[in-house]
Amino acid sequence: MEVRARAPGKIILTGEHAVVHGSTAVAASIDLYTYVSLRFPTPSDDDDTLKLELKDAASDFSWPVGKIKEALPESGRCVASSPTSCLPETIKSIATLVEEYNIPEAKSGVAAAVTAFLWLYTSIHGYKPAKVVVTSELPLGSGLGSSAAFSVSLSAALLALSDLVNLDFSQQGWLPFGESELELVNKWAFEGEKIIHGKPSGIDNTVSAYGNMIKFRSGNLTRIKANMPLKMLITNTKVGRNTKALVAGVSERKVRHPNAMTAVFTAVDSISNELATIIQSPASDDLAIIEKEEKLGELMEMNQGLLQCMGVSHSSIETVLWTTLKYKLATKLTGAGGGGCVLTLLPALLSGTVVDEVIAEIESCGFECLIAGIGGNGTEICLGASS
């Protein structure tokens, strides 16, 4: 038996950084996916190993299931219907399995992903031999939720071949999960995210699991649904950033300028709420969509100006801003800033020729561009290795 799961990446449409200080933010799924295939060997295969292939990281791992059981004797007692956190002593035990491969410090993200994989797999399926293959359309470590998409798609594939999920595999193509099943997928994915990131907010995995959009404030998540098509040009500046330092810098600026920064955060809150209202309101015709797109573009530009006030922009981001401004397109950073990725709203009636010109000019600066639909489906499953 083999299944394939996919889970989307995410963007922050509005509210990054300000959300740490009590403002509302809006996140959305994008139609770029991470895929996980899971296959259990047949008795005739005579295979007693657990294999993991991370294609985009060009990394392969394999452990005899007896060795995993010896290192993680407690995992076999986990109940898949009740997601549990990986204890520090268990992480140390998993580390003995991961360290065999001498993963370099520069690939610490790979080591964290393998650790999360071993915890999720053994918690849900115990010590069964299997082969798991992971591929992704998402650039790694760029702020587009690649680790959450990994945790969600992995959890989805593992649960799909458990007794806890009832899917009709007689149907062809990608199948959605039921609401209660998605909730279980999301809870396990969050446990994976905790291993990878320590103290994640839960936003990335929730957007990846459920799709569409999420409005969040002070730890409260509200799922919302877009009533208009949205397409973004996502530019990966390939400039690394230190998220913790950027978050700390905003907090320090608030200490130095409390009244001004409070006004900035209040303005961001208003922008996020207005954007959510516009996206959810119905559009009766093309004219209504154009009007909504113009308003969304203005809100994105306002949010970018406020992010500049917070001190989290970067010369690479400004290069993209000035390039797209020549074409009268709205652009803002997404995520931590200081580099990373940049969003440009692509109006529905924008010609393909103009889009090609914009991409060519941006990529001439050494950046990479992707076009993604916004607010689509969450994690899905299909039977077999391809669809």
The Cα angle at residue 129 between residues 185 and 119, in degrees rounded to 5: 40
- With tokens 């208003």, the residue in question is 270
Q: List all residues 6 or more positions away from 281 whose beta carbon is below 8 Å from its beta carbon.
A: 227, 292
The rounded distance, in Å, linking the Cα atoms of 318 and 299 is 17
36-74 burial by CB neighbour count: b if 16+ within 10 A, else e? Answer: bbbbeeeeeeeeebbbbbbeebebebebebeebeebbee
The rounded distance, in Å, linking the Cα atoms of 97 and 69 is 11
With the C-alpha atoms ordered 84, 89, 91, 94, is the resulting torsion angle positive or negative?
negative
Q: Indicate the SS3 state at residue 341.
A: strand
Q: What is the DSSP string of 256-283?
A: HSHHHHHHHHHHHHHHHHHHHHHHHS--
The Cα angle at residue 332 between residues 201 and 238, in degrees rounded to 5: 75
The rounded distance, in Å, linking the Cα atoms of 336 and 333 is 8
What CA–CA distances, in Å, run from 366 to 11, 140, 380, 382? 22, 17, 34, 37
Residues with active-site annotation: 204
- With tokens 């959890």, the residue in question is 155
The rounded distance, in Å, linking the Cα atoms of 313 and 307 is 7
